[in-house]
């Protein structure tokens, strides 16, 4: 019996008592260790995952940059002193002028060659180039550049049509009226239009050829009887010719058609005062102040006119409104004009001057 027990003990001696070793405390430690291992695995996975995303974004950005750099259209070199004509502003039929411009700048243009130019591909292409470049120069607000190109066209083909009207208008803007009249006369031979005839009359006002100006402006008025600009041009013409009644008629007609043109209203009022037509000027300015209530010079002018008319109360009323709209120093400058000498000693006028001087000193002290 004893031997059996020893034998049994020998077999059991090498086997651990698992039930005794596997305690709850041991189980908790294993769980915590596994959680720590899982946390570390997540950290490593997140790191490598984020790195992969960053590399992907960088690769996409590089690919997009390379694509855009390959497809970007290179800009033509802009010559010094010349207006840049954007390629995208040209129609598909006119893009060739960009490359043609570079070629002629390298080889020399040659339009200064003397003599009549043949109707050949070479000269037609050069003329077309300058027409397109002139039109584009106008589109980007470069009238001098446009005129230079259009003049090159006329040098190549003096008899060309369809360009003189534009050139005449541009020369009016530059106040070169003789050149304007020359080109507009050529344009009129091509086609009679209101714009050409009216501008031709304007050019002749500039050259002081008043008979020609009246002839063309009257013809323009026949084509468009209610044209405001034509009436204004006739008013200026007759004013310069000292045909004052005719000038007044067309000024008033223009202002009926353009009642919002404050600048011309003031011009007309000054014209009336220059003629000494004080009552007409007063009536006009009184009407104007019902439409315009915030422009000081109108009220000061009305005050001067009313002084000439002997209407002292109305003059003082106009002055009171005018000085409300400007700085006291400026108001004093207006009131120091010789036109107010006849009312300068009146109590109301003196009171206004005193108030303005006090206000002016107060402003100076504040500064």
| Rounded Cα distance, 254 and 30, in Å | 103
Of all helices (H) and strands (E), which one includes residue 68? helix 24-71
Residue 114: band (very low, low, confident or very high) from pLDDT cuts 50, 70, 90: low
Report phi then psi at 205, rounded to 5.
-60, -40
Axis crossing angle, helix 296-308 with helix 312-323, rounded to the nearest 10: 170
Q: What is the mean pLDDT of residues 259-282?
A: 93
Question: Does 312 fall in a domain?
Answer: yes
In the DSSP assignment, the letter for residue 74 is P
Q: Which domain holds residue 285?
A: 278-367
Q: What is the mean pLDDT of residues 296-303?
A: 93
The structure tokens listed for 139 are 């589109």
Size of the chain, expressed as the number of residues it contains: 367
Higher pLDDT, 103 or 231: 231
pTM of the prediction?
0.65
The structure tokens listed for 256 are 């009926």
Predicted pLDDT of residue 214: 97
| Rounded Cα distance, 129 and 150, in Å | 10
Question: Does 345 fall in a domain?
Answer: yes
Predicted pLDDT of residue 272: 95
Place of tokens 């009257």: 218
Question: Does 325 fall in a domain?
Answer: yes
232 with 254: CB under 8 angstroms? yes
Over residues 20-54, the pLDDT tens digits come to 444 444 456 666 666 777 777 777 677 777 777 78
Predicted pLDDT of residue 181: 96
Higher pLDDT, 7 or 113: 113
Distances (CA, A) of 79 to 85, 152, 224: 11, 18, 45
Q: Euclidean distance between the first and final Cα of the chain, in Å?
A: 127
Predicted pLDDT of residue 250: 97
CATH number, domain of 301, equals 1.25.40
Q: What is the mean pLDDT of residues 188-217?
A: 96
Q: What is the DSSP string of 191-235?
A: ---HHHHHHHHHHHHHHT-HHHHHHHHHHHHHH-TT-HHHHHHHH
Residue 358: band (very low, low, confident or very high) from pLDDT cuts 50, 70, 90: confident
What percent of the chain has pLDDT above 90?
44
Predicted pLDDT of residue 8: 45
Higher pLDDT, 69 or 202: 202
User: CA torsion sign, 318 to 319 to 324 to 326?
Assistant: positive
Residue 70: band (very low, low, confident or very high) from pLDDT cuts 50, 70, 90: low
Has residue 90 got a pLDDT over 60?
no
Mean pLDDT of the chain: 80
Task: Specify the range with the lowest mean pLDDT, choosing from 11-15, 31-35, 147-151, 225-229.
Answer: 11-15
Higher pLDDT, 255 or 129: 255
Count of the separate structural domains present in the chain: 1
Output b/e per residue, 81-104; b: 16+ Cβ within 10 A: eebebeeeebeeebeebbebbeee
Question: Does 273 fall in a domain?
Answer: no
Has residue 306 got a pLDDT over 70?
yes
Question: Does 363 fall in a domain?
Answer: yes
Question: Does 170 fall in a domain?
Answer: no
For 137-141, the CB contacts below 8 A with 24+ separation are 137/83, 137/85, 138/166, 139/89, 140/83, 140/85, 140/86, 140/89
Closest CA to 171 of 156, 154, 194, 190: 154
Question: Does 321 fall in a domain?
Answer: yes
Question: Does 124 fall in a domain?
Answer: no
Has residue 118 got a pLDDT over 80?
no
């Amino acid at each position: 019996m004893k031997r059996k027990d020893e034998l049994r003990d020998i077999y059991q001696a090498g086997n651990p008592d698992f039930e005794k070793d596997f305690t709850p405390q041991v189980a908790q430690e294993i769980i915590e260790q596994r959680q720590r291992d899982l946390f570390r695995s997540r950290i490593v996975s997140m790191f490598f995952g984020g790195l992969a995303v960053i590399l992907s974004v960088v690769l996409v950005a590089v690919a997009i940059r390379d694509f855009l750099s390959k497809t970007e259209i290179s800009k033509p070199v802009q010559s010094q002193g010349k207006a840049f004509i954007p390629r995208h502003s040209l129609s598909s039929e006119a893009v060739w002028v960009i490359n043609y411009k570079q070629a002629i700048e390298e080889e020399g243009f040659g339009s200064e060659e003397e003599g009549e130019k043949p109707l050949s591909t070479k000269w037609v292409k050069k003329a077309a180039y300058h027409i397109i470049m002139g039109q584009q120069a106008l589109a980007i607000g470069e009238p001098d550049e446009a005129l230079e190109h259009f003049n090159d066209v006329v040098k190549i083909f003096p008899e060309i049509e369809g360009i003189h009207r534009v050139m005449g208008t541009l020369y009016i803007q530059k106040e070169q009226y003789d050149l304007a009249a020359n080109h507009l006369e050529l344009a009129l031979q091509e086609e009679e239009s209101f714009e050409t005839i009216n501008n031709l009359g304007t050019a002749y006002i500039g050259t002081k050829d008043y008979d020609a100006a009246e002839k063309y402006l009257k013809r323009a008025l026949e084509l468009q009887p209610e044209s405001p600009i034509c009436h204004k041009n006739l008013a200026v013409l007759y004013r310069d010719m000292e045909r004052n009644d005719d000038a007044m008629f067309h000024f008033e007609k223009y202002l009926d058609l353009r009642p919002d043109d404050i600048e011309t209203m003031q011009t007309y009022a000054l014209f009336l005062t220059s003629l000494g037509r004080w009552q007409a000027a007063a009536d006009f300015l009184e009407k104007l102040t019902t439409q315009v209530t915030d422009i000081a010079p109108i009220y000061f002018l009305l005050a001067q006119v009313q002084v000439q008319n002997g209407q002292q109360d109305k003059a003082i009323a106009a002055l009171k409104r005018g000085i409300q709209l400007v700085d006291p120093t400026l108001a004093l400058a207006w009131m120091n004009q010789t036109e107010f000498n006849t009312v300068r000693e009146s109590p109301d006028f003196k009171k206004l001057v005193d108030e303005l001087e006090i206000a002016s000193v107060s402003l100076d002290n504040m500064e």
